[in-house]
């Protein structure tokens, strides 16, 4: 037996999700209503505490990863040319699709399944490695065709090198999923921070030495290597020589729908990169990808934190729609409490932000960033609604929604591409509103949380954010010629005004956030 492999019992079947289910069922059999109520209350309290702790560490992990990536990205943007970022943007759709195919929906299935066994875990571990190897071989073969399609010969060796991340990621995918299942985001925070720092240093060092686009590739590969090594070091799980096609088939029934939806979502999230890379100058793709990265930094970070915590928690209580509704209302209001002012505020300060951080050579990305911020306002609303569908095992509905929404993306591109990149982003904004209606539609039936009720919960936060946005936009009319001073003035004024308005309007999420901070740091006097 190799030292990295082991045999043993299923330690992951005794997680909080299954304990909750087992105790409830046991109480039902014995008929002791008093004991059942007491245990449910106790377990609910424990799950709440675990959720809050997981959310805090998930936020730390996301902030450290995005924070380091942001700083590294700013330095690289100053050292490299927009065209070099455009080359990486051309390959993003292919690497992202391959990563989605490698997961095959089994990651979500491992989290969602309550009676998880060692046979399930090991089967997925070996399947992921095999899939990763096959995908690398496929990308190796098709890379010359991709280079010909874009008329960029350098893309062929570049894609072959970057594709190696698939095998590297496959070796740590199961460990990562099990950490998420256990809501142990403290480990993820450590792994992400260390890997981001080390890979960032490698990328920046190579950029300084004139390696150009290869420094971006080296950063991606080294990040995967460091992350996988650290996951093995911090995770207690080790693979055993167990494999079962039966286990794969059982989980594939759930995961296959999510796989199909994931492939659709990944492709159409990046389809604009294909169109822009093919029809517009390479530099324009670089401007678009930089604007998209800046916009996604706050919105995607926040949404990923909430999504990674709520999915396993909602999965644990998937048979209790009323509890899911309460949890969703709290998660939704907490999301928009932060996301609305961040996205609208970022749209206003985009010009001084780009000039200060990226210099004038990136000025053409400003209008793209402003429009993408408006699209980003809606992003968390989609995430939390779809999270409920996945947690309740409605992967067929999830897939159906994705097919409808992606058809709209195709229609948008066909209609708007002739008027330029900005027109395509306007089309994204229209689709985003319609997609929100579709995503929220089924939750009316599943958990009795209608679209109108959601909008009613969100309106106070939107109104508060809009007032703040109008106020800081007015600062641009002041005679401030220094972009740094303008950026600082708008940021501080917006932050202070928004908190003041939240306090005056007594917004629920603000009150809850203030209480959580006060409980965690009693020595700090909150606003």
What would the DSSP string read from start to end of 19-88? HHHHHHHHHHHHT-HHHHHHHHHHHHHHHHHHHHHHHHHHHHHHHHHHHHHHHHHHHHHHHS-HHHHHHH
Rounded CA separation 290/268 (Å): 18
Give the residue from 398, 421, 409, 133 showing the smallest Cα distance to 255.
398
Give the residue from 88, 212, 206, 221 showing the smallest Cα distance to 162.
221
Contact in structure between 137 and 163 (CB atoms under 8 Å): no
Token pair of 364 as six digits: 């053409």
CA 375 to chain centre: 15
Whole-number pLDDT of residue 525: 47
Whole-number pLDDT of residue 46: 54
Contact in structure between 282 and 83 (CB atoms under 8 Å): yes
Give CA torsion, residues 151, 152, 153, 155, to 10 deg. Answer: -130
Whole-number pLDDT of residue 20: 35
Whole-number pLDDT of residue 114: 67
Query: How many Cα neighbours within 13 Å face the side chain of 476?
Result: 13
What is the reported pTM? 0.75
Contact in structure between 365 and 288 (CB atoms under 8 Å): yes
**Cβ count within 10 A of residue 477:** 7
Give me the residues of the chain with pLDDT under 70, please.
1-65, 103-108, 111-114, 183-185, 253-258, 303-312, 519-527
Radius of gyration in angstroms for the set of CA atoms belonging to the chain, rounded to a whole number: 24
Within 358-482, where are the H helices? 366-376, 379-391, 395-416, 421-446, 451-474
Rounded CA separation 237/4 (Å): 9
- Residue 477 per-residue DSSP state: G
Whole-number pLDDT of residue 380: 81
b/e per residue 74-83 (b: at least 16 CB within 10 A): ebbbebbebb
Give the residue from 174, 96, 163 showing the smallest Cα distance to 134.
163
Whole-number pLDDT of residue 426: 95
pLDDT in tens, 314-360: 777 777 888 888 888 888 898 899 899 999 999 999 999 999 998 89
Rounded CA separation 328/330 (Å): 5
Whole-number pLDDT of residue 18: 40
**Cβ count within 10 A of residue 25:** 10
Within 235-365, where are the H helices? 245-279, 282-316, 321-357
The SS3 of residue 3 is coil
CA distances from 487 to 218, 346, 471, 481 (A): 33, 10, 14, 11
Parse the chain into domains and list their residue ranges. Answer: 60-293, 322-527
**Cβ count within 10 A of residue 473:** 16
Residue in the block written with tokens 């039966």: 246
Token pair of 401 as six digits: 């929604």
The SS3 of residue 513 is helix
**Cβ count within 10 A of residue 300:** 19
Whole-number pLDDT of residue 215: 94
Residues in the chain: 527
DSSP string, 181-234: HTT-HHHHHHHHHHHHHHHHHHHHHHHHTT-THHHHHHHHHHHHHHHHHHHHHH
Rounded CA separation 495/354 (Å): 19
Angle, nearest 10°, between helix axes 451-474 and 483-505? 140
Give the residue from 143, 428, 410 showing the smallest Cα distance to 271.
410
């Amino acid at each position: 037996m190799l030292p990295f492999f082991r045999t043993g019992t299923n330690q992951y079947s005794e997680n909080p999700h299954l304990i909750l289910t087992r105790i409830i069922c046991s109480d039902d059999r014995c008929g002791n209503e008093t004991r059942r109520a007491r245990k449910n209350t106790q377990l609910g309290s424990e799950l709440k505490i675990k959720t809050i702790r997981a959310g805090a560490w998930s936020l730390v992990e996301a902030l450290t990863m995005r924070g380091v990536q942001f700083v590294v990205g700013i330095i690289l943007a100053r050292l490299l040319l927009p065209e070099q970022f455009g080359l990486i943007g051309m390959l993003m759709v292919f690497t992202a699709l391959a990563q989605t195919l490698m997961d095959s929906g089994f990651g979500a299935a491992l989290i969602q399944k309550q009676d998880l066994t060692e046979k399930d875990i090991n089967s997925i571990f070996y399947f992921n490695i095999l899939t990763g190897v096959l995908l690398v071989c496929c990308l190796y073969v098709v890379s010359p065709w991709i280079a010909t399609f874009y008329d960029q010969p350098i893309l062929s060796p570049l894609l072959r090198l970057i594709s190696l991340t698939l095998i590297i990621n496959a070796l740590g995918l199961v460990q990562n999923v099990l950490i998420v299942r256990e809501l142990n985001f403290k480990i993820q925070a450590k792994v992400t921070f260390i890997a981001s720092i080390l890979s960032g240093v490698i990328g920046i060092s190579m950029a300084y030495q004139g390696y150009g686009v290869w420094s971006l590739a080296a950063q991606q590969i080294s990040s995967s290597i460091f992350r996988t090594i650290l996951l093995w070091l911090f995770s207690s799980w080790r693979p055993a020589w167990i494999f079962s096609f039966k286990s794969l088939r059982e989980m594939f029934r759930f995961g296959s729908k999510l796989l199909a939806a994931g492939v659709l979502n990944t492709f159409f999230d990046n389809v604009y990169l294909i169109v822009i890379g093919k029809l517009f100058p390479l530099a324009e793709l670089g401007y678009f990808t930089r604007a998209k990265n800046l916009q996604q930094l706050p919105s995607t970070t926040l949404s990923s934190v909430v999504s990674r915590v709520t999915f396993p928690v909602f999965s644990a209580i998937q048979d209790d729609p009323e509890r899911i509704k309460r949890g969703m209302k709290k998660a939704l209001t907490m999301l928009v409490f932060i996301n609305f002012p961040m996205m609208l505020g970022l749209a206003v300060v985009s010009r001084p932000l780009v000039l200060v951080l990226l210099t004038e050579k990136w000025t053409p990305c400003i209008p793209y960033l402003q429009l993408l911020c408006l699209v980003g306002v809606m992003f968390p609303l989609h995430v939390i609604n779809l999270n409920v569908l996945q947690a309740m095992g409605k992967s067929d509905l999830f897939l159906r929604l994705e097919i409808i929404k992606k058809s709209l993306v195709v229609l948008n591109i066909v209609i708007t591409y002739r008027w330029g990149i900005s027109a395509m982003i306007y089309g994204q904004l229209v689709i985003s509103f319609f997609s929100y209606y579709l995503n929220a539609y089924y939750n009316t039936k599943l958990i009795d949380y209608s679209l109108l009720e959601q909008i009613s919960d969100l309106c106070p936060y939107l109104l508060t954010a809009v007032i703040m946005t109008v106020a800081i936009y007015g600062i641009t009319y002041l005679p401030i010629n220094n972009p740094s001073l303008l950026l600082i003035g708008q940021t501080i004024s917006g932050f202070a005004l928004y908190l003041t308005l939240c306090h005056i309007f007594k917004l629920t999420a603000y009150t809850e956030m203030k209480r959580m901070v006060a409980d965690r740091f009693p020595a700090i006097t909150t606003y």
